Chain A
Amino acid sequence: MLHVNVISAVALSSAQQKTLVTSLENKYKGETLSFNYRIDTSLIAGLQISVAGKLYDASVNGMLQELAKKI
């Protein structure tokens, strides 16, 4: 079973959750996925997803941190 942690600044809508689940099930065919949703306002906006040891950061806070590193 693969655990999928979804952290977002605000709660994902049902449609957004469905889109995410479908995409991940297509990506990890044959695997059982377990989704865990959490809200963290420090992300400012956007979301972070960690699955199978990979972190996908698409939060505004992450972008700002990345920008700070580049500067």
Chain B
Amino acid sequence: MEIQLAQIIFQIVNFGVVLAALTYFVYKPVVKLLDERKAKIAQAAKSADEIQKEKEHIEESKEEILRKAKAESKKIADEARREALSQVKTLLDKSKADLKAKEAKFSTEMQNLRKERLQEVEQEIKQAAFSLAGTVLEAEIDQKKHQKILDTQLQKIIESL
């Protein structure tokens, strides 16, 4: 078998044509397809990263909101507790003041009552004493003394006319 140059050249040209055709019709579309796919994957990865970042941001926001809500609720609860304590203290103070006023009033009334009762007893004793004195005097004064007293008292009235 002889090596024919023309045959070799033909084979080379033929190979080149096939290579060119393959390059143009197969290799480039495949490369293009791969590039596009790669780009899509990169885009997807980028989107995934963004979504992840967004998710993390949302989580952080959620934590922040929860933290603020907890702080706010604690503040409200503290204020409500303080307000309740203040109201209780006010009520207690008012009750104490009322009680003190009632005690003072009761004490005054008791003192007045005691004073009135003492005055009544004193008056009763006086009446009894003077009634007794009157009875004693009535028994001791005879007609002669009556006339003498009448003279004296009549003279006093005449002088005061």
Contact = CB atoms under 8 A, between A and B. Distances in A.
B146 A64 contact: no
A33 interface: no
B127 A10 contact: no
Contacts, number: 66
B161 A46 contact: no
Given A45-B141, A68-B126, A27 B146 contact: no
A21 to B, nearest CB: 11
Main secondary structure of the interface of B (DSSP, over half): helix
A41 B138 contact: yes
A5 interface: no
A2 interface: no
Quick one: which of A10, A45, A47, A49 has the most chain B CB within 10 A? A45
A67 B130 contact: yes
Interface residues of A, number: 27
B143 interface: yes
B130 A46 contact: no
B13 interface: no
A56 B161 CA distance: 9
Interface in A28-64: 41, 44-47, 49, 56, 58-61, 64
A60 B149 CA distance: 9
* A-B interface, 4 closest residue pairs, ranked by CB to CB distance from nearest: A58-B153, A46-B153, A23-B158, A10-B146
